[in-house]
Structure 1
Amino acid sequence: MIHGALAGMNGAATMTVLRMLAHRSGLIDLMVPQKVEQWARRKAGVRRWRTPGGYRIVDHVLHLGYGATWGALYGALSPAPEATTVARTATFGIGLWAFGSMVLFPALRIGPPAWRSGARENTVNVAAHLAYAAATSLLVDEFSRQPHREVTTRRPWVGRVG
């Protein structure tokens, strides 16, 4: 589960980079974590954060936490690394997109469901969730293949490091 949580946080960070590119290119106006932060702030009765950039801290903490939660669940339920396939990873990503966009967002009144969103928003959102699933799946697999101890060498100056 810990490997899954770490992988999920990295997956969420991957989504953020993809969404920032989409935002800069004008495909979307807000990233999903920003919309969630606005919703959470309204629910908490906070007009604005006292700390400059507080909204950015909160949207990242919420998104990384959400990603870590799904990553931990994936890590706990994931098959052996050799059983992970592109289809399974894509199903994980599409499933998360469907749950968030068609169930969670409308139920909590954070935003409209996917069927009321435009093609651009849905394309960015699906791509972001596929990137999340790919990063999370790859990292869970990689963590499980690595030794459960510190990797050491007698000659620290020797080796391929990238």
Structure 2
Amino acid sequence: MSGHWIWKAAIAGFCGSAAHTLLMYLKSRAGLLPAFQPYENLQASLAHVTGTSVHPIIPWVLSFLNGSTVFGFCFGRFYGSLPGASGAAKGVAFGVLGWAVMGMVFFPLLKLGPFALHLGLGIWPALFSLAMLLTYSVMLGLVYAALDPQRETGSTSP
């Protein structure tokens, strides 16, 4: 019984990743922030580290798998400890935390600076990255809560 959270977290992570992918697709189609291309920056960084070219699908696959597994499992494991009374509220808390880490650690590693400020686009990349993380994490929280209604009522056992 204690392992059921794993498959629920995997399904919720997959749904969150799918929502995030849809948002990124819409960003591309609408031409929003064309200079802010985190997947292209990740691709360039991976190419630099590996010393070879990296296919454009690799950063997307890494992101999708990471969101579907690692972050989904982290969310499921810490669901009971996250602030908020609903899956969506817990998703917001998880997303804001992820956004802070991404802005302060991941973006600087990609040479974009904290919250991608080195792009010279002001606060817009930071706000869009917050939207990216909240799209993922709120969907993650909603699906996880729907799959595990006992948790929604306050039970904290994994």
The TM tier, using the shorter chain, reads 0.7 to 0.9
Q: Which moved more, 1:116-125 or 1:132-141?
A: 116-125
The structure with more radius of gyration: 1
Counterpart residue number, 1:2:
7
Once the two structures are TM-superposed, the CA of residue 4 in structure 1 deviates from its matched residue by 1.3
CA distance in 1, matches of 2:130, 2:92: 10
Output the amino acid matched with 1:23: S
The counterpart of 1:139, out of the listed 140, 143, 152, is 143
TM-score (normalizing by structure 2): 0.73
The structure in which a higher percent of residues are helix is 2
Output the amino acid matched with 2:9: G
Segments of structure 1 that go 5 or more residues without pairing to the other structure are 147-162
Once the two structures are TM-superposed, the CA of residue 115 in structure 1 deviates from its matched residue by 6.4
CA distance in 2, matches of 1:44, 1:95: 29
CA distance in 2, matches of 1:46, 1:6: 34
The counterpart of 2:130, out of the listed 126, 131, 134, is 126
Q: Residue 15 of structure 1 contacts residue 131 of structure 1 at CA under 8 Å; is this kept in 2?
A: yes
TM-score (normalizing by structure 1): 0.72
CA distance in 2, matches of 1:46, 1:3: 37
Counterpart residue number, 1:14:
19
Once the two structures are TM-superposed, the CA of residue 134 in structure 1 deviates from its matched residue by 0.9
Q: Residue 5 of structure 1 contacts residue 71 of structure 1 at CA under 8 Å; is this kept in 2?
A: yes
Structure 2 residue 46 is matched with structure 1 residue 35: no
- RMSD over equivalenced CA pairs, Å: 2.5
Once the two structures are TM-superposed, the CA of residue 5 in structure 1 deviates from its matched residue by 2.7
Alignment of structure 1 residues 84-95 onto 2, 5 Å: 84=86, 86-95=88-97
Output the amino acid matched with 1:17: L
CA distance in 2, matches of 1:110, 1:8: 27
CA distance in 1, matches of 2:44, 2:14: 21
Q: Measured at CA, do residues 24 and 7 of structure 1 come closer, stay the same or move farther in structure 2, by a change above 3 Å? A: same
Q: Residue 104 of structure 2 contacts residue 114 of structure 2 at CA under 8 Å; is this kept in 1?
A: yes
Segments of structure 2 that go 5 or more residues without pairing to the other structure are 1-5, 151-158
